[in-house]
Amino acid sequence: MDLFDLSGRVAIVTGGNGGIGLGMARGLSRAGAAVAVVGRNREKSREAASSLGPHAFAVEADVTRASDVRAMVAEVAGRSGRIDILVNNAGTNVRKRPEELAESEWRTVLDTNLTSAFLCSQACHPHMQAAGGGKILNNGSMMSLFATPWSPAYAASKGGMVQLTKSLATAWAADGIQVNCFLPGWIDTDLTRRAREQVPELHDRVLARTPAGRWGDLDEFQGIAVFLASRASDFVTGAVITVDGGFSASG
Ligand code: NDP
């Protein structure tokens, strides 16, 4: 038995059209899963799906909207007949101090990063039950553990992701569904390219604090995706796993 084989499994990756989500989608796809690449940008999702191979396809959805999430999950289930794996990865950030952050900005970040994970997990749950089990992978952050003066909404959403993970893990363990949270360190993506423009000293701070001495690459998420989506992790649930080049271990 290949512990890491995902042949015949169907995965949804929110925000799978770029960055860390694309790295996860590549890993799942290479292990044999059919991957639904979910995002708002239809063209970007189509390009990402075609780069993954014939078993991947794009689904357009804004995961902050419950109606979009329901339609997206119904489309994947209708097309593939089952849903085994959900990667809650879509995310955004508004970098402002708490006294400057508008309520609408707070809600956008919380809705995109945290409420979306709840909505997608809830919508996938009956399909995973029907398949006899499932795997949910939630994308946290170093901001699940630490904070900065310019991260009130982002850190709140990512801290919440850890507790949502533990809540779903305890609720659905009896259904054979494992729910885990991975915490990326600093990874070179569109999101952090914008951060580096906004916070000029960020690049040097990241290099100084990360024992690996570099930014992470999106393809370094293939391995954690396959592990947490496969039989190899069947007794791992409610866990919080750093993928950070040692950032969180460093003082
Ligand atoms: P990107 O900006 O490259 O990716 C963000 C993805 O989320 C895009 O695919 C985007 O697709 C999708 N997305 C955003 N909003 C929505 C929405 N409302 N509905 C559907 N999809 C949406 O950034 P990263 O790869 O860096 O970020 C991915 C995740 O990783 C986020 O949760 C982020 O917080 C987390 N993370 C990133 C770190 C890093 O260093 N890069 C560190 C720690 C965590 P589209 O625009 O088409 O909707």
Q: Provide CB contacts within 8 A for 178, sequence distance 6+.
A: 133, 134, 135, 136, 169, 228, 233, 234, 236, 237
Residue pLDDT, tens place only, 3-36? 999 999 999 999 999 999 999 999 999 999 999 9
| 8 Rama class: left (phi>0) / alpha (psi -120 to 50) / beta | left
2-245: what fold? Rossmann fold (3.40.50)
Cα 25 from Cα 99, distance rounded (Å): 37
Tell me the three state secondary structure of residue 191: helix
Cα 231 from Cα 226, distance rounded (Å): 9
- Ligand 1 binding pocket includes 50 (Cβ within 6 Å): no
Closest atom, ligand 1, to C-alpha of 16? 9
Give the rounded percent of residues in the chain with a pLDDT score beyond 90. 96
- Ligand 1 binding pocket includes 20 (Cβ within 6 Å): yes
Per-residue pLDDT, averaged over 127-149, amounts to 97
Tell me the three state secondary structure of residue 94: coil
Q: Where are the domains of the chain?
A: 2-245
Residues classed as catalytic: 154
**For residue 186, which amino acid is it?**
W
Backbone φ and ψ of 246, nearest 5°: 90, 5
- Ligand 1 binding pocket includes 85 (Cβ within 6 Å): no
**Can you read off the two tokens belonging to residue 84?**
């085994």
Distance from Cα 91 to the centre of ligand 1, integer Å: 4
CA Rg value for the chain: 17
For position 144, what pLDDT does the model report? 98
Q: Give the number of other Cβ atoms within 10 Å of residue 18's Cβ.
A: 20
Backbone φ and ψ of 250, nearest 5°: -100, 140
For position 71, what pLDDT does the model report? 98
CA–CA distance from 18 to each of 7, 39, 47, 161, 213 (Å)? 23, 9, 10, 21, 24
- Ligand 1 binding pocket includes 90 (Cβ within 6 Å): yes
CB–CB of 148/201 below 8 Å? no
- Ligand 1 binding pocket includes 43 (Cβ within 6 Å): no
Closest atom, ligand 1, to C-alpha of 216? 40
Closest atom, ligand 1, to C-alpha of 63? 19
Cα 70 from Cα 217, distance rounded (Å): 32
Distance from Cα 150 to the centre of ligand 1, integer Å: 18
**Can you read off the two tokens belonging to residue 148?**
């900065």
Full DSSP string of 16-68: TTSHHHHHHHHHHHHTT-EEEEEES-HHHHHHHHHHH-TT-EEEE--TTSHHH
For position 1, what pLDDT does the model report? 63
For position 199, what pLDDT does the model report? 86
Per-residue pLDDT, averaged over 69-84, amounts to 98
Residue pLDDT, tens place only, 182-218? 999 999 999 899 889 988 899 999 999 999 999 999 9
Cα 84 from Cα 70, distance rounded (Å): 16
Average pLDDT taken over every residue of the chain: 97
pTM as predicted = 0.98
Distance from Cα 174 to the centre of ligand 1, integer Å: 31
The total number of residues shown for the chain amounts to 251
